[in-house]
Amino acid sequence: MKYTKFANTNIELSKIGLGCMGMSAAYGEDKDDKESIATLERSIELGINFWDTADIYGKGVNEELISQVLKNNRDKIFIATKFGFRMPNDTGNSFSGDIYIDCSPKHIKEAVEKSLKRLKVDVIDLYYAHRIDPNIPLEDTIGAMSELVKEGKIKYLGLSECTADELKKAHDIHPISALQSEYSLLYREVEKEILPLTKKLEITFVPFAPLGRGLMSNKLDISSLSNNDFRKNLPRYKGEYLENNMKLSQALEELAINKNATTAQLAIAWVIAQSDNIIPIPGTKKRKYLESNVGSVNLNLDSSDLEKIEDILKMYPNVGPRYSARENKFVKKS
């Protein structure tokens, strides 16, 4: 494993983290807690020391699952979780029905206590606002988060899916250490403003879905997705967009084979190669995919490789919006 500095600290984090959402939410009913726990344990063996979760993933179930491994490995893991998404009466499935954003100081104080309890930790290393609440002044949200630092309940602040202006404003109130957003061969909007800004401000950029939620693995069988897998409702998984993305993945596989790598490893390595402040968090609930993903850390892409990838992307530009209308209302850009 290779390691990199976290933000402007002396903390060394693995060059690839582990996204844990799929172990408990979003990707259908194919859940296997035993295999998920084995995957968490294997990640430690492979040198990963950065896990990512959120209170909305399975309505807290994901945090509780992680705690089973975290309790005996607390000194080995830098744990990140998030607050902000809520459901009416906190009922229902986290990826169905009505959800809304609440980043009020009152909710933040309640949410952190629940996450600490579920994770069974005394302090959360990195605490994200999962989205920016349009109904709450940013000063109030960041102010409440900074109070948690003073109280010793969290160490570092993070934001997810914000604009460059929001990031600058928040960073002026209290240092922001991490910015999380989707970033992959299928979604590069962050290259315009967000990624350069994080580098300038010494903020770690944490891309989720670096494989385009599986599309860039060239292994995904769309017909195998269960009815409640939320990807079935995403534009990229339908019609002409899906056809384009399958062809793109297949074209990338040819280059990957020449590099003695898988398409997934190539896609993640491309993300890592874009900036030295990047730590992607590909998600998986199976050891075999985890082990494959880790291989991307040692896949070196030279300028010729990167140019070839750009040429391939130009051939298949019709990747589609990343979210449906329902999910898209929670992000600044599609």
Catalytic residue (one of 3, 27, 57, 316):
57
Please state, in angstroms and rounded to a whole number, the distance separating the CA atoms of residues 297 and 308. 19
Amino acid residing at 237: Y
Contact 199/277 with Cβ under 8 angstroms?
yes
Please state, in angstroms and rounded to a whole number, the distance separating the CA atoms of residues 252 and 138. 41
- Both tokens of 226, joined, read 């269960």
Please state, in angstroms and rounded to a whole number, the distance separating the CA atoms of residues 216 and 188. 14
Please state, in angstroms and rounded to a whole number, the distance separating the CA atoms of residues 104 and 65. 27
289 is catalytic: no
> What would the DSSP string read from start to end of 184-239?
BTTB-GGGTTHHHHHHHTT-EEEEE-TTTTTGGGS---GGG--TTBGGGGSGGGSH
Please state, in angstroms and rounded to a whole number, the distance separating the CA atoms of residues 283 and 285. 7
**Nearest residue to 81 via CA among 131, 133, 119, 36:** 119
**Greatest CA separation for the chain:** 54
Question: Would you name the residues annotated as active-site residues?
Answer: 57
